[in-house]
Each structure stands twice: as structure tokens, then as C-alpha cells.
Amino acid sequence: MGIDLILKNVSKSLKGKTILNNISLIARAGEIVAIVGPSGSGKSTTLRLINRLQEVDSGEILLDGKSIRSMKPTELRHLIGFISQIPVMFDCTVLQNVMYGLTMGANPAVRTSQDLIEKATKFLQMADLDISFSDKDASKLSVGEQQRVAIARALMLSPEILLMDEPTAALDPVAIEHIESTIKKINRTTGTTFVIVTHSPDQAVRLGQRIFWLHEGGLKEVSKNDIENLMRGVWKEGSKDA
């Protein structure tokens, strides 16, 4: 599983400000690619362009060689899973949340088959959540647990690519370690391509097989050694400005 993702000369402006200026990126099938950049550098925008929650101004995004604009947005978003920084839980149980992408919120009694429940349980376990969580109210879980539910929910659609927008930004160090090991395990067992954006160079080094640096609208591939220096440079610049 997992397919190639290519961003070709992509540009995007928001409210008259250039966010992304002619960026290009290749994520090969099964790779974990980390995009690092300071706050407001356009990391989230890049992900939103890939699953077409927003439109590129110019350039092209290709999935397995096929332009995403030639695909139906609903089908595209089944191929590309999305995990947000703050997990969004729907007002129902953990299991119903996990099945949401396939039931679309329909009455579970009508739409839920035993196969679907078994599949959801399998992905809950893959996201390191015990089966006892199934009937719990998703909104009552801790943020770390909710993030696991969100991962299981995205996996339910059998995505080829998983986009993660600062998936551990709201978590404590123990939960961060837990989520990171889950990400590696899923990548290893399913071969899903991961594009993870983070402001943490350490996390990029821990997770990314390749690392990209996004700053002032530009994107470039950097080595694991360079990334910390680049980020430190931004912090220094910021403290000088202050």
C-alpha cells in the first residue's frame, strides 16, 4: 500500500499574502516525510492543498501520477487520510467515530454491519486503543486518546497517504512518544505514505525518513543535521525582532 505524492511548483496566497511560493516535493510510496517550519510558515496550508480542502493558485499536485483535480474530491479524501492538530470528535461513541467515514453519521443501527464493527475494532487496536474504549463517549477521552481515535478513523478508509498536522502538538511527552511509535508501527505494517508537519525538529528527526524545511514560502529538502540549525536560526531571528 501507499502511493507516490508529488507537489509540482505549487503556489498559494491567502488574503493577499504569499504563503507558498513555487514549492515542490516528492513523497515516495511508503515513506514518512516530515515538513518542519516555524508557526505560520504554511505547513497546515500545504496539507489542506493536498487533500483539496483548499485549492492551489498555481502548480499541480499528483497522486500516483494523476492530478488531484481530475479526481472526485470525496474519492480523493478517501485516499488521503487527515489528522488534525486538535482531534475533532463527533458527538457519539468511540466506535461510531471510527466508523464515521464509512457510515457518514447515518443511524448506526441501520448502517453498521458486523464486518464494519470488526474492522473498526481492528484499527482501534492498531492505534493502540483497547477494545474497552469502543462504547465510551469520544468527547470524554483525553486528548491523547482522542488523537488515537482520529488515527483509527482515518485508517478505516484504508488511505494510501496519511497527512498529519502537528499530531502531537497538544500532548504531553509520554503521549507524544506513544503516538510516534504508533505512527511508525502503522507505516511499517500498512506501508501507508505519511506526510507529517511539525514545528519540532526533534520530532522530524525521530519520524521523518526525509525532512523538508518550509520557511518564508519556500520548501527545500534538508539533512537531519541541518534541520536543528535552521530552526535555531529562526528562533534567534525572532528573539532579535522582539
Partner 1 sequence: MLDYVYDPIDGAFRLVLAAILLAVAIILSRYKDIGIEKELIVGSVRALLQLSVVALVLTAIFESDMLILIAVMIAGMIVLAGFTSAKRAKGIPDPIHVTIPAIAIGASTVIVLLVALQVLPLKAEFIIPIGGMAVGNSMNICSLFLNNFKRELKTRNSEIEMRLALGATGEVALAPHMRFSIRSSLIPTIDNLKTLGLVFIPGAMTGMIIAGADPLWAAEYQLVVFFMIIASGIITTVIASRFVRDKVINAAEQLVELEY
Q: Rule CB under 8 A: say whether 78 interacts with partner 1.
A: yes
Sequence-ordered strand ranges (E) for the chain: 5-14, 17-27, 32-36, 58-63, 66-67, 80-83, 161-165, 193-198, 210-215, 218-222
Beta-bridge partners for 198: 36
* Nearest one of 98, 141, 89, 170 to 179, comparing CA atoms: 170
Longest dimension (CA), the chain: 60
- Window 105-134: residues binding partner 1 (CB under 8 A): 105
Q: Rule CB under 8 A: say whether 75 interacts with partner 1.
A: yes
What is the Cα–Cα distance from 4 to 30, expressed in whole angstroms?
A: 8
Q: Rule CB under 8 A: say whether 137 interacts with partner 1.
A: no
Q: Rule CB under 8 A: say whether 153 interacts with partner 1.
A: yes
Provide the minimum distance between the beta carbon of 139 and partner 1 in the complex, in angstroms, as a whole number.
11
Q: Rule CB under 8 A: say whether 1 interacts with partner 1.
A: no
Among 65, 70, 74, 240, which residue interacts with partner 1 (rule: CB under 8 A)?
A: 74
Q: Rule CB under 8 A: say whether 88 interacts with partner 1.
A: yes
Give CA separation, 31 vs 4, 11, 220, in Å. Answer: 9, 24, 17
Given the complex with partner 1, which of 81 and 208 has the nearer CB atom?
81
Q: Rule CB under 8 A: say whether 200 interacts with partner 1.
A: no
Q: Which residues bind partner 1 (CB under 8 A)?
A: 51-55, 73-75, 77-78, 82, 84, 86, 88, 90, 100-101, 104-105, 153-154, 157
